[in-house]
Structure 1
Amino acid sequence: MDGIDTNKNRENPFKHNWFISAIWLLVVCYVLYTFNAMDLSWGRINEGFGHASNLLGRMIPPNFSRWSLLLSGLIESLEIAVISSICGIFISLFLGLFAARNMMPSWISSPVRAVIALCRTFHPVIIAILFVKSVGFGALAGILTLIVASIGFIAKLFAEAIEEISLKQVEAIRATGAGFTSIILFSVMPQVFARFIGFSTYQLDSNLRNSTMVGIVGAGGLGGTLFSAFQRFDYDFVAAILIIIIALIMFGEFLSNIVRRIFR
């Protein structure tokens, strides 16, 4: 028995998986096909870098002479982001609770989840176009757009957070004879409050970015000013707008960090 080579009886733990290799081969072939189908080549990329350098040269130095126009667009973007975030977070608080399957029966949670999924289906620009066609140009269309976007994000995550809570605290509060509102306030919310604050601050930061984007299709904010500057080939003013947008996003990130430290 000692002279028998037992290595032949051992199964190779690193044996080749032909199925996985075939999948990777298909992925590589598809990527190569898409490069060819979309006419992507190094020549086009190199030519694009040349146009980009020319554009960058026309953007420097930035032109802040129309600071009043920049300020008005910045204020409107801030107003759109703050109002839509407050309204979206407030609505999401209830929709997320109604969508939690461990707190609500299926005949309530399923339709609410369908509404949340519908809010998350389309990109904010598409939703902004629909609202611009419905309520006209301006900040109202942007606010409604970002409210829908906020519901699609926060309500879903809030519902999932509620579904992950410990039901022992819920049963303990219920055993005291407390009503549904007391159960939510004293057993559910304490377990998910910190996560809800994190979701809310992230959505505010996201709405600050999106408030400048939806303006491109006429939903108010700096985006409309940016689009008009591009149409006029006013690239030095475009650079000034982009700098203001960067400053706005950095302010949102700074505010989010402060809120997270407070409620940590």
Structure 2
Amino acid sequence: MNGSSSRFDSSQTSLQLEASPAVLEMLEKEEKRVTGVRIFFGLMAIAILIFSFIQSEINVAVLAENSGNMATYIAGYFPPDFSDWRIYLEDTIITISMGIWGTLIAAIVAVPLAIFASENICPIWIVQPMRRLLDAMRAINEMVFALIFVVAVGLGPFAGVLALSVSTAGALGKLFSEAVESIDPGPVEGIRATGANNIQEILFGVVPQVMPLWTSFVLYRFESNVRSASVLGIVGAGGIGVSLYQSFQAFDYQKVCAILIILIVATSAIDFGSAKLRNWLV
């Protein structure tokens, strides 16, 4: 019995030794294939960078040559003129209000859009059209939407709020759907096992998992929307952009500088406050 066992062990060992070169060869081929793929994509990335560099007409020499003109131009912004600071402050408050409501409306709209755009929740024939809708909402800049809504509702902050809400809903919908697709399916399956319907599965199985990420995304977009709202006034959508555009038109760069300083201070305050709120909520 021991002899047959030793013969079996020796034959098994010889089979392993015979198989080892084949396995090593297969692993070597796989490693070469992966290396080839990496080299291919690396070369493609370099080619794209070179092509985009040419298409963008990047010329560092021209920038260095005209840097003196830039310094002279920027010097004209100082000292800042805060003589109309009350008007600028009121316009900045309007701009922040536009950012608040644009983000809030977008977040409300983005939630159902994100659910319908998530592959682990809805069938593909719903997911793909919804994703293309989100793509379209993100692809069009807020300025274009502002022009459209100025025609629809007239000049003023309301047009800016609508423009921000549409564009932001597209961005948040994309981010929300990616968060939904990365959830742990365990809690959802557990809720489904209790006989819950689809809405209850989403409310009690999906939303609690993604709420921290969703909150963080909304706060980040709020900061971005305040910045975007500051230029929507150029097309008549209200806010500090109106004063900014008028000052540029009048070549009153010292007032432009004052407006920019107020915007920087406001944005920094919003960033600090939202960071504290994000840490508290998340």
TM-score range, shorter chain: 0.7 to 0.9
User: Does structure 2 retain, via aligned residues, the 8 Å contact 1:96–1:156?
Assistant: yes
Q: Quick one: distance in 1 between partners of 2:222 and 2:151?
A: 25
Call closer, same or farther: CA 1:27–1:79 in 2, change over 3 Å.
closer
Name which of 260, 266, 278 aligns with 1:242: 260
Q: Quick one: distance in 1 between partners of 2:214 and 2:197?
A: 23
Q: Quick one: distance in 2 between partners of 1:57 and 1:259?
A: 38
Q: Quick one: distance in 1 between partners of 2:257 and 2:269?
A: 18
User: Does structure 2 retain, via aligned residues, the 8 Å contact 1:99–1:113?
Assistant: yes
Name which of 213, 221, 227 aligns with 1:209: 227
Q: Quick one: distance in 1 between partners of 2:207 and 2:146?
A: 33
Name which of 112, 118, 121 aligns with 1:103: 121
User: What's the offset of the Cα at 1:181?
Assistant: 2.8
Question: What corresponds to 2:188 in structure 1?
Answer: 170
Give a deviation string over 1:169-205, Cα, whole Å, max 9, x none.
Answer: 1111011112333212211111111111111111111
Residue 80 (1) aligns with residue 98 (2): yes
Q: How does 1:25-174 map to 2 (within 5 A)?
A: 30=51, 33-34=54-55, 38=57, 40=59, 42=61, 44-46=62-64, 48-174=66-192
Question: What corresponds to 1:5 in structure 2?
Answer: none
Call closer, same or farther: CA 1:33–1:186 in 2, change over 3 Å.
closer
Name which of 219, 225, 228 aligns with 2:237: 219
Call closer, same or farther: CA 1:100–1:28 in 2, change over 3 Å.
closer
Question: What corresponds to 2:15 in structure 1?
Answer: none
Q: Which runs of 5+ in 2 are unaligned?
A: 1-27
AA paired with 2:170?
G
CA RMSD of aligned residues (A): 2.8
Whichever of the two has the greater Rg, that structure is: 2
Name which of 248, 251, 256 aligns with 1:233: 251
Q: Quick one: distance in 2 between partners of 1:122 and 1:202?
A: 20
Secondary structure at the counterpart of residue 102 of structure 1:
coil
User: What's the offset of the Cα at 1:221?
Assistant: 1.0
AA paired with 1:114?
R
In the superposition, the TM-score normalised over structure 2's length comes to 0.79
Question: What corresponds to 2:275 in structure 1?
Answer: 257
User: Does structure 1 retain, via aligned residues, the 8 Å contact 2:89–2:262?
Assistant: no
Q: Quick one: distance in 2 between partners of 1:180 and 1:20?
A: 42
Q: Give the number of equivalent residue pairs.
A: 250
User: What's the offset of the Cα at 1:95?
Assistant: 1.2
Secondary structure at the counterpart of residue 165 of structure 1:
coil
User: What's the offset of the Cα at 1:62?
Assistant: 0.8
Q: Quick one: distance in 1 between partners of 2:58 and 2:225?
A: 35
Call closer, same or farther: CA 1:169–1:152 in 2, change over 3 Å.
same
Compare 97-106 and 22-31 and name the one that shifted more.
22-31
Question: What corresponds to 1:6 in structure 2?
Answer: none
Q: Which runs of 5+ in 1 are unaligned?
A: 1-9
User: Does structure 2 retain, via aligned residues, the 8 Å contact 1:208–1:248?
Assistant: no
Question: What corresponds to 2:7 in structure 1?
Answer: none
User: Does structure 2 retain, via aligned residues, the 8 Å contact 1:139–1:220?
Assistant: yes
User: Does structure 2 retain, via aligned residues, the 8 Å contact 1:120–1:152?
Assistant: yes
In the superposition, the TM-score normalised over structure 1's length comes to 0.84
